[in-house]
Amino acid sequence: MADILRTGLSGLIAFQRSLATASHNIANANTPGYTRQRVELTNNRPDYVGGLSGPQYIGSGVSAVSVSRVYDNFLTEQARNYGSSVGQLEAKDRWTTQLDGVLGDGSTGLAPALKQFFASAQDVANSPASLPARQALLGQAETLADQFNNLDGQMNVLRDGVNQDLRGAVTSINGLAESIAKANQAIATSIGGGANAAPDLLDQRDQLVADLAQKVSVNTVIQSDGSMSVFIGNGQNLVMGAKANVLETKTSTTDPRKLDIQFKQGGSVITTAFSSGEVGGLLAFQDQVLDPAQNKLGLMAVGLAQTFNDQHQLGMDLNGALGGEFFNIGAPTVGSNADNTGTGAFTAAIVDVSKVQPSDYEVKFDGTNYSAVRVSDQKTILGSGDLAALNTELGKDGLNLSLTSGAPAAGDRFLIQPTRLMATSFGVKIKDASLFAAAAPIKTAASQSNTGTGKISVGEALDVTNANLLTPVNIQFTDATHYTVNGVASATTYTSGADIDINGWRIQLTGAPATGDQFQISSNAGGVGDNRNALKLNELQTGKKLLNGASTYQDVQSQMVSEVGAQGSSARNTLKTQEALQEQAVQARDSVSGVNLDEEAANLMRYQQAYEAAAKVIQVGDAIIQTLLDAVRR
């Protein structure tokens, strides 16, 4: 009869634990990261009771072996990996949308300011002697400069925001890593440890890892004691057992406006290892969206400033003086890596703005030779060579690099940023409207006594540094096919329409001049109604002066806006796809591991009935024993 009681008692215990587990499942149906649990039941070893015809065994009840998780590691990892992708794309999309909003305003952005500036330049060309028109031009120039400065400032604000988010993400990663390490310790020291650890501890650790995956891509390995080793990026160890390696941010040794991520202990920089999660998205936005946009904005600024200045200096102002620089603009920056051991200091210059590319350049020195990579397309422009060879290659992109002091040491690195800071340095140099050089510096005339049909062009200045630019010149024909300059004895052969370049200016003679015909070139001082240089300045608006003659200022601006918009659209579309895939992965995981309330309610009823039946077995056993005891007493 004791066997009946023992069997019934085993059933009571087993189904009591089953009822408790089902209740636990129901209570945690909406708990993030919770995995459905179940009691693993097994029949006890049967008792041998002998037998005349052969061995006989009587069952001895049931045992609750363990409480385990209904868990699929593959589905869990799949959902976690999609979480990393979603975290990356959410961060990139969020910041790209902000930048797109800064650049895409059609009413207050750069494009309308540029259009209004050149419209004012056309007004001056229409009325070159008008001071109000000139003053309006200066006002529009100041507005354009403010717009360049404002856009660059807003990009810097976004850059600071990204850096702040990076610091916050690293702080979160450290907190999660420490919590995972503590969970590892609790799991490893729990009764049974490993696979027999408390399911709730395992769930809590998995949820921490899933949260970590939102920040950075994660790989995990379960150790023999049940602890989990966590690797991030390209395999860098973040958690090993009960120890978490701490990350930190520091100012980049290459670019002081950026942050590097490194391990606090050992100091190894691992920034390039982050390609997924929120951190990967922030770095991708900075490198793939913000840097190119700011470089293009700078290219517009330096391109407009230099080409406008060059043409303005070929003109003459209302005071009869040659034009000066109209815009202020800075110079390319060359940053020395903070880890450099040498004393070499370099400066860079733009020698041909039409060839300049909106890209940074990384230069390395091995102790003897230089190598260089264009960052925008990762193209190696120089594998190995001296400074002259480096400048030959940089010259193809309109740049020149000069060693101004000291000497670089082996391993030193330098970052050339030709256009990154140009927009912030863009400004208007002239403040007096009369100094706008609308006129050409020279004027031409044909002698009234000429008898031939020869004609002279209006002329143009080529080199304002020529000291004789404004010196009067007289061209006289000695016969129909030869002429002299200022009476010089040697005659020059005349070709109709050919360029004649003298003293830094250029004219053309056409027609059939007669012997003795004369043509004069002289200073245009006092020519306040002349608009020839203003017209040439206005032509710059539609001239393809940038990117090797392929783009206008507006083209570069449109490229900048469209590329940011395309990056944002791509990020949003990919994000939708990844979110859908993540949702599918989560549903697949939950179909295995999630709590089904209907199923648990049915289990409760089933376990309740089993519990009541086991109690009835005990009741029957007790009654039988009482009957026997009563019989013995009689």
In-domain check, residue 244? yes
Neighbour tally for 385: CB within 10 Å:
16
Residue 509 CB burial class (10 angstroms; 0-12, 13-18, ≥19) = buried
In-domain check, residue 263? yes
- In 3D space, the residue among 547, 567, 569, 565 whose CA is nearest the CA of residue 556 turns out to be 547
pLDDT, residue 625, reads 80
Average pLDDT over every residue of 8-12: 85
Which residues, at least 6 apart from 153, have a Cβ–Cβ distance to it below 8 Å?
A: 424
pLDDT, residue 500, reads 95
Whether residue 569 sits in one domain with residue 512: no
Whether residue 154 sits in one domain with residue 53: no
In-domain check, residue 256? yes
Whether residue 98 sits in one domain with residue 22: no
In-domain check, residue 128? yes
From CA 568, how far away is CA 575, in angstroms rounded? 10
Domain tally for the chain?
3
Q: Are the beta carbons of 93 and 571 closer than 8 angstroms?
A: yes
Neighbour tally for 349: CB within 10 Å:
12
Whether residue 186 sits in one domain with residue 50: no
In-domain check, residue 360? no
From CA 193, how far away is CA 228, in angstroms rounded? 12
In-domain check, residue 407? no
Whether residue 262 sits in one domain with residue 144: yes
Task: Encode burial over 167-184: b for 16+ CB neighbours within 10 A, e otherwise.
Answer: eebbebbbebbebbbebb
Whether residue 130 sits in one domain with residue 259: yes
Whether residue 133 sits in one domain with residue 29: no
Could you say which DSSP state residue 396 is in? T
**Range(s) of the domain holding residue 52:** 2-70+597-633
| Percentage of the chain modeled with pLDDT above 90 | 72
In-domain check, residue 248? yes
Last residue of a domain, one of 507, 523, 539: 523
pLDDT, residue 52, reads 67
- In 3D space, the residue among 70, 94, 27 whose CA is nearest the CA of residue 590 turns out to be 70
pLDDT per residue over 190-215, tens digit each?
A: 765 555 678 889 989 999 999 999 99
Neighbour tally for 79: CB within 10 Å:
22
Whether residue 110 sits in one domain with residue 232: yes
Whether residue 209 sits in one domain with residue 109: yes
Whether residue 135 sits in one domain with residue 53: no
**Average of per-residue pLDDT values in the chain:** 91
Whether residue 206 sits in one domain with residue 128: yes
In-domain check, residue 383? no
pLDDT per residue over 299-351, tens digit each?
A: 999 999 999 999 999 999 999 999 999 999 999 999 999 999 999 999 999 99
pLDDT, residue 299, reads 97
Whether residue 486 sits in one domain with residue 617: no
pLDDT, residue 191, reads 62
Name the pLDDT band for 234 (thresholds 50, 70, 90). confident
pLDDT per residue over 378-433, tens digit each?
A: 999 999 999 999 999 999 999 999 999 999 999 999 999 999 999 999 999 999 99
Average pLDDT over every residue of 450-465: 94
For the ranges 47-51, 213-217, 606-610, the lowest mean pLDDT is seen at 47-51
pLDDT, residue 413, reads 96
- Residue 440 main-chain phi, psi, to 5 deg: -80, 150
Q: Which amino acid is at 599?
A: E
